[in-house]
Structure 1
Amino acid sequence: MKIYSHENQKLHKPKGYYSRGKMRQPQEMPERLVELLKAPEVMGLKVTDAKEIGIDPILAIHDFGYVDFLKHGYDEWTALGEEMGEEVQTSIYASTNNAGLGILAKAAQYQADGSAPIGKYSWTSIYWSAQTALNAADALLKEEIPQNDIQICLTRPAGHHARKSSAGGFCYLNNAAIIAQHLRQKFQKIAIIDTDMHHGQGIQEIFYDRKDVLYTSVHGSPINFYPVVAGHEHEKGQGEGYGYNINYPMPHGTDEKGFFSYVDKALENVTLFNPDVVVHVLGFDVYKDDPQAKCYVSTQGFMALAKKMKALNKPIIVLVEGGYCIEKLSENLQAFLSGFISE
């Protein structure tokens, strides 16, 4: 098992986010990564510093104008010389009929909701989050690790809500999509299984008309719950991708047994697809005490989840994404890692 991270991911420090009618305290904070890094340290496991793979795999998924906004938007924002606030944060949402003339128009075009502000150092963290994920994909492409090895990427900020040309849900670059596309240079079929509390509408949108990348997601029902407009069971893909997008929205309040009943169905889909590589989007926000949780997974449940993933007997890249009960992140990650290590 190989674990990747990078210190630059701690530089993104949101001041707050707007959701459900009011400003809220930020939950996606640098302290999350600090706590996650404690787990391998306690277990005596090495964490590899991610190396730079480059911008090209990012631009293979995301629009150039959007990536340019993420990289330069803060400078444009502050260059206005007005009282604009400390972060790029829009209250106008207009992704269409928008010429993108001026930073306010660009923010309206490229920020899908109020939960993805951009500060002075945000791009550095966003970029290195993607690079951290790409290190695992690159290792498989270059055959630097055993074929059926497990790779864990401690990635922050997360990615599965990021769409081709918009940020939202604490996400900016869609790491799962970026590495799936990168892996397609060598591997024919990639399966993405998403067990975060929220549906990854960005992944769904990017691969919705493709059959070479299976996307299956277990998440809380999106009715009155983020991302609200996607993640329903009837969304199955389109064109040649029909049937290769499979959603399992859980009723809010689902217990651990119910959670795993949906996970088992998703794993059956993955097994039938018989991918060359599995990408697992892992969210610790399904933990019973997480402020975002709508189900009740215990700490030991994460060990069971890892054992189920391991049983696929495929090369697996795990992207650690959601999870906002900061005081339990290390303990929950230790349980998850133990599930891969135990016989």
Structure 2
Amino acid sequence: MKFFFDEAQRQHNPVNFLSSGAPQPNPEQPGRVQALVDGANAAGLTQSATEDHGMAPIARVHSAEYIHFLRHIYTRWQRIDGASPEVIPNIHPDRRTVSYPKSAVGQAGFHMADTACPISEHTFHSAYWSAQSAVSATNDVMAGAKASYGLCRPPGHHAFADLAGGFCFFNNSAIAAAHLKQNGLRAAIVDVDLHHGNGTQGIFYADPDVLTVSVHADPIRYYPFFWGHAHERGEGEGLGTNLNLPLKMGTGDEGFLEALDKGLERVRDFGADIIVVALGLDAFEGDPFGGLSVSEQGFAEIGRRFAQMDLPCVMIQEGGYLCDELGDNLTAFMNGFKGG
């Protein structure tokens, strides 16, 4: 199996984010990359060069207005007297239908869902190449590979079509699924990250051609709070193509796998040609966010369950934060997949 990653993805280096109103060191650090590369190598994956597929695959998911914002906001922010070193909004509209301001501060509030997605000098460049890694992995599977891994950093599943959030800027899993749809394939996204993939849900909520499934910690008292509840099933033509499987805090291997089995049953019923695995590793019992309690062996079994679907898989890296076992968990997942 190949994995795709570009060195430009290391350049995004956020310093802080706000948690409960207080500045905290940002856990979405470049150091995650080396742990994941080591984990992929330990599983016997072979690194392949990420190709530049241009803006079109990204623009199928994200608005041109939003892309323009991400490309230019850091430079504009530096012109504001007394502004923070990183772009962090201090005002948000109450709905998406409000007027669009010219102010950099106003646009930051419009295009950034929260204070956990600071934009610094290299953010756009790193996010662009993260998305290209997702497209390269997708093309590898479309060319005949059984599976491929996009080591996408920064991650993407909290990003909506015109809204960054939760360390995410371009939604790599959604970009992969939209690329598959553009090429006539029926894609199912199965998100196993600790946090609900709210951006992914939002992008495809009315789309009957892409199934979105998410197994995650119950958002009733946990990020992202407003999305990820079991009653959210899609809307319009997409009604019935969104499945959320929220879990009680602290759920371990048995409960997680039980929910995953339900999600994979829905994938079979959807008649998917291919699975996009939104591969968060932060459901780990030792992850700094500490919401769920999946073990290393649990990740191996998660990988095995995906392999047993006997469908091509594009694995797109989402969360999973710096701890001694981060790379080991990726290795366990990949070895479980290969063994399945």
Shorter-chain-normalised TM-score: which range?
Answer: over 0.9
| Superimposed CA distance per residue, residues 247-292 of structure 1 (whole angstroms, 9 cap, x where no aligned partner) | 0011112121111110111011111112111100011100001122
> In the alignment, what sits opposite 1:63?
63
- Deviation of 1:162 (Å): 0.2
Count of residue pairs brought into register by the alignment: 338
Q: 1:111 is matched with which residue?
A: 112
Per the alignment, residue 178 of structure 1 pairs with 175
Equivalent positions of 1:18-29 (< 5 A) are: 18-29=18-29
Cα deviation for residue 56 of structure 1 reads 0.8
2-structure distance, mates of 1:86, 1:326: 27
Between the aligned partners of 1:44 and 1:211, the Cα distance in structure 2 is: 37
Which aligned pairs between 1:122-271 and structure 2 lie closer than 5 A?
Answer: 122-141=123-142, 143=143, 145-146=144-145, 149-271=146-268
- Taking structure 2 as the reference length, what is the TM-score of the superposition? 0.96
Structure 1 length-normalised TM? 0.95
Does the CA contact (< 8 Å) of 2:251 and 2:294 recur in 1?
Answer: no
Q: 1:246 & 1:42 partners in 2: Cα distance?
A: 33
1:299 match: 296
Query: Shift of residue 131 of structure 1?
Result: 0.4
What is the DSSP-based 3-state SS (H/G/I as helix, E as strand, rest coil) of the residue aligned with 1:227? Answer: coil
User: Is 2:338 the counterpart of 1:337?
Assistant: no
Once the 2 structures are TM-superposed, how far is the Cα of residue 51 of structure 1 from its aligned partner? 1.1
Deviates more, 1:291-300 or 1:118-127: 291-300
* Structure 2: segments with no counterpart, 5+ residues: none
Specify the alignment match of 1:317 in structure 2.
314
Code of the residue aligned with 2:329 in structure 1: it is N
Gaps of at least 5 residues in structure 1 are none
Question: CA distance change for structure 1 residues 57 and 291 in 2, over 3 Å: closer, same or farther?
Answer: same
* Residue 5 in structure 1 maps to residue 5 in structure 2: yes
Structure 2 CA distance for aligned equivalents of residues 338 and 121 of structure 1: 33
In 2, the alpha carbon distance for the partners of 1:340 and 1:230 equals 29
Q: Give the secondary-structure state (helix, strand or coil) at the position aligned to 1:171.
A: coil
Tell me: CA distance 1:218–1:43, structure 2 relative to 1, closer, same or farther (3 Å): closer
Percentage of pairs with the same residue: 38
CA deviation string 1:59-115 (max 9, x = no partner) = 1111111111111111111133x2212111111112552422121111011111000
Say if 1:254 and 1:296, in contact at 8 Å, map to a contact too: yes
Conserved 8 A contact 1:96-1:109? no
* Cα root mean square deviation, aligned: 1.3
Matching residue's letter, 1:51: E
Q: Secondary structure at the match of 1:61?
A: coil
CA distance in 1, matches of 2:188, 2:136: 18
Q: Whole-Å Cα distance in 2 between the matches of residues 78 and 232 of structure 1?
A: 39
* Whole-Å separation in 1 of the counterparts to 2:175 and 2:15: 27
Distance 1:306 1:12 in 2: 29
Partner Cα separation in structure 2 for residue 198 and residue 140 of structure 1: 26
